[in-house]
Chains A and B, each alone.
Chain A
Amino acid sequence: MDKLFEGLLNHHIGFVVWSTLAFVILFVLLRALAWKPILGAIHERERHIESALQAAENAKAEMARLTSENESLLKEARAERDLILKEAKELREKMIAESRATAQAEGAKMIEKARIEIEGQKAAALAEVKNQVSSLSIEIAEKILRSEFADQSKQEALVSDLLKEVKLN
């Protein structure tokens, strides 16, 4: 056993010291030059990829949300359009009915007016006709009377007749 370890320190201490030194220097240099930047870059990239994936996922969700929102908006718009159309229809019908009623009333009023006018005109025309007839009949009567009383004797006979009729009370 003694023989095995004899001179161990003498012959090998140098190797242990140098290799420890070399490894420690390697460790320090690589840690500063390589491991920190490389691991940092890898970590950064992984985070970037992760966040990009997350963003894509979010965008997808947003897209879905927008689509469904669009759909509901469309539905709403359609319903609104239907409502507006219905209202317009109703309004139209009402307006038509109203205007019809007004027209009818107006017509009736006009007819009435025309009737009154016609009535008036008729009365006036009848009055004219009556006047004409009366003046014509007076003229005719005058003419007849003139021709009747052209002879003096006839006139005196008539007066005497008439006088005879009239008895003094």
Chain B
Amino acid sequence: MSLSRILNSKKIRFSAVFALFLIFVNYQTAVKAQADTSLGKAPDTILNVAEHEAGAEAAGHEAAHGADEKFDPTTVIMEHIADSHTWHLWGHTSIGLPVILYTDKGIESFSSSAFHHGEEAYEGKFYTYKLIEDKIFAVNASGAIDKEASAKVYDFSITKNILAIWISVALLIIIFSSVSSSYKKREGKAPKGLQSFIEPIILFVRDEIARPNIGYKYNKFMPLLLTLFFFIWINNLLGLIPLFPGGANVTGNIFMTFVLSFIVLVVVNLNGNKYYWKHILLPDVPWWLYPIMIPVEIIGVISKPFALMIRLYANISAGHIIVLSLIALIFIFKSIALAPVSVAFVLFMDVLELLVAFLQAFIFTMLTALFIGTAVDEHHH
């Protein structure tokens, strides 16, 4: 078959590039090892890499701070994909985002630049705060975490991801209100410009996602499905851009995917009809199986959106981690010669991520439509 031939040729090409890459890596490490031993030093770098790969968790923040010249890829990558109280732009320039704290004594807010990247504690109105691993803790006079006080501090800060969400929300509103106005201007005519780019996607969501999965009641759920689809998609795409307006890992944040899937959970169960609830509470099994079946069905209700949450989070985070790891190779081996290989792989990954960005938005929306479809299905089964 022609398909398998293409697959084969791609595999061959991929493995050729990969082999080249491995040769390069081996050569580099060999050279490095020779140089290191000739200087009478232990091969620090390689050991470090091995150590970090073996125990990524263990080689945490402290290690990175302990040896300031040593490069710790795990910390760097985790910092990049995690939410932050500052938005790093370039070099030492970063935007201090507003910190809003809800404490048992009241609300207080200040700029996160007061923390000086976590190096200094900030004395607020009620407690003294310190940024540890980009999380705000209340500290006591000696600078140690005050656990009791920390438990009373709730962080409502406008973090990097929140700002990124606002940017994407603003972008979506600008894009779609302009598209909508062009529908009003060119009523009944063929689409044009941005409209002709957006319309097939809207039709795709309607004809390939909503209609086949929900059935004739699809119209009611179209706004939610479209909002979910475009929100996830634009955030996936913005996450791929390394520079300022993008770069925040919004859809790779498990709390974001939690919010989205929780909304799906609520919508699905609020729209569930009597057949849906009968299927859960009175399944078609002998009565003595109910003690097993009902908990299983209830777990099913929760696990469906849970799978949505994990799937989106894991896919997007994994993509970011791979890209960052490939870039980190340059710093691990401290060689600019590795850059072309790294960049080539990153380019490949980015193109793949473009596809994944669309695919994950599609899958999330499609499964949402499917769950809604099972909840509103009229047929008894």
Q: Do A and B actually bind?
A: yes
A interface vs B, CB < 8 Å?
A: 7, 9-20, 22-23, 25-27, 29-31, 33-39, 41-42, 44-45, 48
B interface vs A, CB < 8 Å?
A: 83, 100, 135-136, 150-151, 153-159, 161-162, 165-166, 169, 172-173, 176-177, 179-180, 183-184, 187-188, 199, 202-203, 206, 219, 222-224, 226-227, 230-231, 253, 255-256, 258-260, 263
Q: Chain A residues near B151: list those with CB within 8 A.
A: 7, 10
If A37-B183, A38-B176 are given as contacts, then 11 extra A-B residue pairs at C-beta distance below 8 Å, sorted by A number, are A7-B151, A9-B154, A18-B165, A20-B263, A23-B165, A26-B173, A27-B224, A27-B227, A30-B176, A38-B179, A42-B199
A17 to B192 CA separation, bound complex (whole angstroms): 38
> B100's closest neighbor in chain A, by CB?
A14
Are A19 and B256 in contact, CB atoms less than 8 angstroms apart?
A: yes
Q: Chain A residues near B183: list those with CB within 8 A.
A: 37-38, 41-42
Choice from A23, A33, A41, A42 contacting B231 with Cβ under 8 Å: A23
A35 in contact with B227 given A10-B154, A15-B255 (CB within 8 Å) = yes
Q: Chain A residues near B135: list those with CB within 8 A.
A: 7, 11
A94 smallest CB distance to B (angstroms): 70
Q: Chain A residues near B199: list those with CB within 8 A.
A: 38, 42
A47 smallest CB distance to B (angstroms): 10
Are B179 and A34 in contact, CB atoms less than 8 angstroms apart?
A: yes
Are A27 and B223 in contact, CB atoms less than 8 angstroms apart?
A: yes
Can you name 28 A-B residue pairings with CB atoms under 8 Å? A7-B150, A10-B153, A10-B154, A11-B155, A12-B155, A13-B155, A15-B255, A15-B256, A18-B156, A19-B162, A22-B162, A23-B260, A26-B231, A29-B173, A30-B172, A31-B223, A31-B227, A33-B176, A33-B177, A35-B222, A35-B226, A37-B183, A38-B176, A41-B184, A41-B187, A42-B183, A42-B199, A44-B188
B308 smallest CB distance to A (angstroms): 14
A48 to B263 CA separation, bound complex (whole angstroms): 36
A31 to B222 CA separation, bound complex (whole angstroms): 9
Q: Chain B residues near A19: list those with CB within 8 A.
A: 161-162, 165, 255-256, 259
4 closest A-B pairs by CB:
A34-B176, A14-B156, A41-B183, A31-B223
Choice from B155, B161, B177 contacting A10 with Cβ under 8 Å: B155
Q: Chain B residues near A37: list those with CB within 8 A.
A: 180, 183-184
> B177's closest neighbor in chain A, by CB?
A33
Are B157 and A16 in contact, CB atoms less than 8 angstroms apart?
A: no
Are B169 and A22 in contact, CB atoms less than 8 angstroms apart?
A: yes
A122 to B49 CA separation, bound complex (whole angstroms): 166
Choice from B158, B162, B169, B177 contacting A34 with Cβ under 8 Å: B177
A109 smallest CB distance to B (angstroms): 90
Are B203 and A16 in contact, CB atoms less than 8 angstroms apart?
A: no
> B254's closest neighbor in chain A, by CB?
A12
A48 to B189 CA separation, bound complex (whole angstroms): 10
A36 to B153 CA separation, bound complex (whole angstroms): 42
Q: Chain A residues near B165: list those with CB within 8 A.
A: 18-19, 22-23
Q: Chain A residues near B156: list those with CB within 8 A.
A: 13-14, 17-18
Q: Chain B residues near A15: list those with CB within 8 A.
A: 83, 159, 161-162, 253, 255-256
A38 in contact with B161 given A14-B154, A17-B156, A25-B169 (CB within 8 Å) = no
> B138's closest neighbor in chain A, by CB?
A10
Q: Chain B residues near A30: list those with CB within 8 A.
A: 172-173, 176, 223, 226-227, 230
A118 to B260 CA separation, bound complex (whole angstroms): 136
Q: Chain B residues near A12: list those with CB within 8 A.
A: 155, 255
Q: Of B176, B184, B188, B260, which is in contact with the most chain A CB atoms at under 10 Å from its CB?
A: B176
Q: Chain A residues near B253: list those with CB within 8 A.
A: 15
Are A36 and B162 in contact, CB atoms less than 8 angstroms apart?
A: no
Q: Chain B residues near A38: list those with CB within 8 A.
A: 176, 179-180, 183, 199, 202
A3 to B83 CA separation, bound complex (whole angstroms): 20
> B178's closest neighbor in chain A, by CB?
A34
Q: Chain A residues near B223: list those with CB within 8 A.
A: 27, 30-31, 35-36
A14 smallest CB distance to B (angstroms): 4
B289 smallest CB distance to A (angstroms): 31
A30 to B136 CA separation, bound complex (whole angstroms): 34
A42 to B159 CA separation, bound complex (whole angstroms): 38
B317 smallest CB distance to A (angstroms): 15
Q: Chain B residues near A39: list those with CB within 8 A.
A: 202, 206, 219, 222
Are A16 and B202 in contact, CB atoms less than 8 angstroms apart?
A: no
> A37's closest neighbor in chain B, by CB?
B180
Q: Chain A residues near B155: list those with CB within 8 A.
A: 10-14
